[in-house]
Amino acid sequence: RARDTVAGNLESLAKRGRLPEGLAPLDEMLRTSTRMADVAGANLIIEAVWESMALKKTVFGELDRHADADALLATNTSTLDIDEIARSTARPESVLGLHFFSPAHVMGLLELVRGERTRADFVAAGLDLGRRMRKTTVVVGVCHGFVGNRLFIARDREAVRLLYEGALPEQIDRVLTEFGLPMGTFDLADMGGGIELGYRARQDRGEVEPVGDRLFLAGRLGQRTGKGFYRYEPGKRRPLPDPEVTQIIEAVSREMGIERRRFTDDELRERLILPMINEGAKLVEEGMVLRASDIDVVWQKGFGWPDWKGGPMYHADRLGLAAVHERLLALQERHGERFRPAELLRVLAAQGRTFTGELAADTAAA
């Protein structure tokens, strides 16, 4: 199956004229095996199994037994703790994260996750790999979701809360696409298998999200099953609002004792975008990125953030950090601690400074 997938991808690239001339036959470039011992001799090994910590630790324990002593051991995890994975080996200094955005042969972004003990020369090797693969590579630290998914998770958790309070998937997604993003939260979940991925991740963590859980248990897994947060006509990918989903959401609201209400688009946009900015500020504050603009690069290259808005942190600078801080305080007062402004945001707002240093708030307002 892996060989067929690679062959299909190469064939597709060839039809579009995107393969170099004189490329060796696939059989000369690719060797497949189901035996872990066959990783011996490789100088770089990238694990890409299911997003389960227990499974990944098992795999890295096996890699530790069979890989060459100087091999670089990389994980493609999109959220999990690289340092915990590394501790399942006797050589944590050889482990780092290489998070390729999906589909990996198309997307131009690579998050290189540097672990607590990752060797500097292995980080350099990862950067060189990204360069040779023509990827934009951003070095990030170890935290849940790294850079791209940490902001993504903050936004999507708020999107689910908005469902509980009265919004519907189609309204939330429309607000995000009108903002300039290529897809909304729930449309993307249907396309990328997010309902099943989210359910299994919550099962591993012992968590519950009643809307997503009910969709999964009802067999509503997204486009591939013809229904998820939306319904789909046979052979079509256009998301259509589904009264059955509305009924599920409204039932959850009743059970949670939440009185549903109407939202304006401005309210939704604020509650979806400002948590992303705040999470980005925390990443800078925690030293997870070298500079705020790295967050913008990740979101432009990996998630399709509109170029004319420059990325979440640049967008915050355009809004004015004092205004962002003020709105987060108002949201905190109304909705709770999840909206508490990051300390760095408070400091920069008070000093009249910006995240990117490229645009002062008073210039943006002019």
Bridging pattern class, strands 72-75 and 44-47: parallel
As a dihedral over the C-alpha atoms of residue 170, residue 174, residue 177, residue 180, rounded to 10 degrees, the angle is -160
**pLDDT at residue 138, rounded to an integer:** 97
User: What is the CATH number assigned to the segment(s) 267-292+303-365?
Assistant: 1.10.1040.50
**pLDDT at residue 337, rounded to an integer:** 97
The one-digit pLDDT tens for each residue of the chain (366 residues) are 888 888 888 888 788 887 777 777 777 788 889 999 999 999 999 999 988 999 999 999 999 999 999 999 999 999 999 999 999 999 999 999 999 998 888 899 999 999 999 999 999 999 999 999 999 999 999 999 999 999 999 999 999 999 999 999 999 999 999 999 999 999 999 999 999 999 998 998 899 999 999 999 999 999 999 999 999 999 999 999 999 999 999 999 999 999 999 999 999 999 999 999 999 999 999 999 999 999 999 999 999 999 899 999 999 999 999 999 999 999 999 999 999 999 999 999 999 999 998 544 443 433
pLDDT digits (tens, 9 = 90+) for 23-55: 777 777 888 899 999 999 999 999 999 889 999
Give dist(CA 269, CA 321) in Å, integer: 17
**pLDDT at residue 13, rounded to an integer:** 79
- The model carries a pTM of 0.90
**pLDDT at residue 363, rounded to an integer:** 39
99 is catalytic: yes
CA distances to 179, 234, 299, 343 from 175, rounded to whole Å, are 6, 27, 18, 28
Q: Which of 267, 36, 91, 256 is nearest to 164 (CA)?
A: 256
Residue 39 near residue 64, CB atoms below 8 Å: no
Mapped onto helix, strand or coil, the DSSP state of residue 197 is helix
Mapped onto helix, strand or coil, the DSSP state of residue 149 is helix
Q: Which of 304, 305, 313 is nearest to 280 (CA)?
A: 313
Give dist(CA 204, CA 13) in Å, integer: 37
**Catalytic: which of 99, 144, 315, 325?**
99
Domain with CATH 1.10.1040.50 in the chain: 167-255, 267-292+303-365
Q: Which of 89, 98, 157 is nearest to 122 (CA)?
A: 98
In sequence order, the 6+-apart residues with CB closer than 8 A to the CB of 91 are 64, 69, 73
**pLDDT at residue 359, rounded to an integer:** 42
Give dist(CA 177, CA 188) in Å, integer: 11
Class at the top of the CATH hierarchy for domain 167-255: mainly alpha
CATH superfamily entry for domain 33-140: NAD(P)-binding Rossmann-like Domain (3.40.50.720)
Give dist(CA 186, CA 304) in Å, integer: 16
Q: Which of 141, 130, 119, 139 is nearest to 69 (CA)?
A: 119
Residue 30 near residue 6, CB atoms below 8 Å: yes
Domain with CATH 3.40.50.720 in the chain: 33-140
Bridging pattern class, strands 95-100 and 109-113: antiparallel
Give dist(CA 279, CA 44) in Å, integer: 32
At which residue do the structure tokens 């979440």 appear? 312
